[in-house]
Structure 1
Amino acid sequence: MTHLPERLLAGYRNFMSRRYPSESARYQSLARDGQSPETMVIACCDSRAAPETVFDAGPGELFVVRNVANLVPPYAPDDRFHGTSAALEFAVQSLKVKHIVVMGHGRCGGIGAALNPSAEPLSPGDFIGKWMGLVAPAAEAVSGNAMMTAVERQTALERISIRYQLANLRTFPCVKILEDKGRLTLHGAWFDIQTGELWVMDPKTGDFTRPDLD
């Protein structure tokens, strides 16, 4: 009797028979020496936009934290629970990553919820609604633009939100200090699920462009 969905067990069998044998030395090294990724990725928990897949990353290459709509709460050293902030603290202070990438994506359900705050909550706790309140000012501005279509508003807020999260990252003293010293670089990226295209944010203008793949 198994206690996991058969699809997961089948995937694990495939991993052990195909991938692990070719990467066993790397896994053993990671187990012995620990991880030392140079890049942290803050991504959405949407199953269609996995950073390890998009960036074709191997074990130990990326330190990834995923939450609804790839949000970063502003620095708040209080007695509440802060999962994303804890991961950020560990990545910057312990792993000493050199890059932090905020990666949004198209057709994000969290962003859609932010654009429709009057929709019926999924539960009495309305955790998604409260969480997406982090981008409420931008959502209100975008949703009020009658000249844009619904799809345009969705994409616009997905990208604007990335800029919001980069600003929130800089409220963390450890991030701001290291960025000012040139020891940490912040990046924004947006992934189009339908086309597979990755759009990268220009740090100076905030515009998103597709990188040259040649």
Structure 2
Amino acid sequence: MKRFPTSLLNGYRNFMSGRYVDERERYRVLADQGQKPHTLVVACCDSRAAPETIFDAGPGELFVVRNVANMVPPYEPDGQYHSTSAALEFAVQALRVKDIIVMGHGRCGGIRAALDPNAEPLSPGDFIGKWMGLVSTAAEQIQGNSVMTATERQTALERISIRNSIANLRTFPCVKILEERGKLQIHGAWFDIANGELWIMDPDSRDFVRLEG
């Protein structure tokens, strides 16, 4: 039998002797009464951009769905498998979250792949390529901008993708209705891995503004 990763076993032991001891009662209440998170965060799978770490959130505070490049697809009740849409549906309809945050980040591998016209599929299924098709139109427009550097093009698409996902969120009837009634708020955010900066999207101008520490 292959050994479970040692680093994770050590991490679990540290958790049990540290954070779990401090929050034992909170975990028991969550187990007995269920979760009531106030916010849904749509984030990237990237191991460097974990929402619970960035927002210093405790257990039960955030409902997090992570996928490649933190994207929300449009509402498509077509009978296919839609994991992000399922998580969104549960968060909004069952958990009644009050806020939804689409959080992108710098140096995103999925966005980099979308901008690379020579990118080869990683497998015959090309799941990443098909998934990144959600931002293909914007990617094609940015690819041809020779005035921008490669880093500038990537940052631009990372932020445009956040706006695109927010627009897709509003194609879901349950989201649109609750937002119009003032019972749900939608936010955009972008995290810079290199220096820990968090940029928040202004709801009116849609510009990203750095949050002062």
TM-score (norm 1): 0.98
Give distance in 1, aligned partners of 2:177 and 2:90. Answer: 16
Cα offset, 1:121, TM superposition: 1.1
Which residue number corresponds to residue 196 of structure 2? 196
Q: Does the CA contact (< 8 Å) of 1:179 and 1:185 recur in 2?
A: yes
Cα offset, 1:210, TM superposition: 1.2
Amino acid at match of 2:54: V
Which residue number corresponds to residue 144 of structure 1? 144
Tell me the secondary structure at the aligned position of residue 8 of structure 2.
helix
Deviates more, 1:118-127 or 1:97-106: 118-127
Runs of 4+ in structure 1 off by over 2 angstroms are: none
Cα offset, 1:144, TM superposition: 1.1
Cα offset, 1:34, TM superposition: 0.4
Q: Does the CA contact (< 8 Å) of 1:43 and 1:104 recur in 2?
A: yes
Amino acid at match of 1:187: H
Deviates more, 1:109-118 or 1:27-36: 109-118
Q: Does the CA contact (< 8 Å) of 2:197 and 2:211 recur in 1?
A: no
Tell me the secondary structure at the aligned position of residue 147 of structure 1.
coil
Deviates more, 1:2-11 or 1:92-101: 2-11
Tell me the secondary structure at the aligned position of residue 175 of structure 2.
helix
Cα offset, 1:117, TM superposition: 3.6
Amino acid at match of 2:132: M
Percent identical among aligned pairs is 72
Cα offset, 1:3, TM superposition: 4.0
Deviations 1:13-65 (A, max 9, x none): 00001110000000000000000011000000000000000000000000000
Tell me the secondary structure at the aligned position of residue 191 of structure 1.
strand
Unaligned runs of 5+ in 1: none
Tell me the C-alpha RMSD between the 2 structures. Answer: 1.0
Give distance in 2, aligned partners of 1:128 and 1:87. Answer: 19
Q: How many residue pairs align between the two structures?
A: 213
Deviations 1:59-86 (A, max 9, x none): 0000000000001010000110000000
Cα offset, 1:212, TM superposition: 2.7
Which residue number corresponds to residue 109 of structure 1? 109
Tell me the secondary structure at the aligned position of residue 87 of structure 2.
helix
Tell me the secondary structure at the aligned position of residue 57 of structure 1.
coil
Tell me the secondary structure at the aligned position of residue 175 of structure 1.
helix
Give distance in 2, aligned partners of 1:133 and 1:2. Answer: 37
Tell me the secondary structure at the aligned position of residue 120 of structure 1.
coil
Cα offset, 1:195, TM superposition: 0.4
Unaligned runs of 5+ in 2: none
Tell me the secondary structure at the aligned position of residue 65 of structure 1.
strand
Tell me, yes or no, if structure 1 residue 26 matches structure 2 residue 26: yes
Which residue number corresponds to residue 5 of structure 1? 5
Give distance in 1, aligned partners of 2:67 and 2:54. Answer: 17
Q: Does the CA contact (< 8 Å) of 1:117 and 1:129 recur in 2?
A: no
How is 1:154-173 mapped onto 2 (pairs within 5 angstroms)? 154-173=154-173
Amino acid at match of 1:36: K
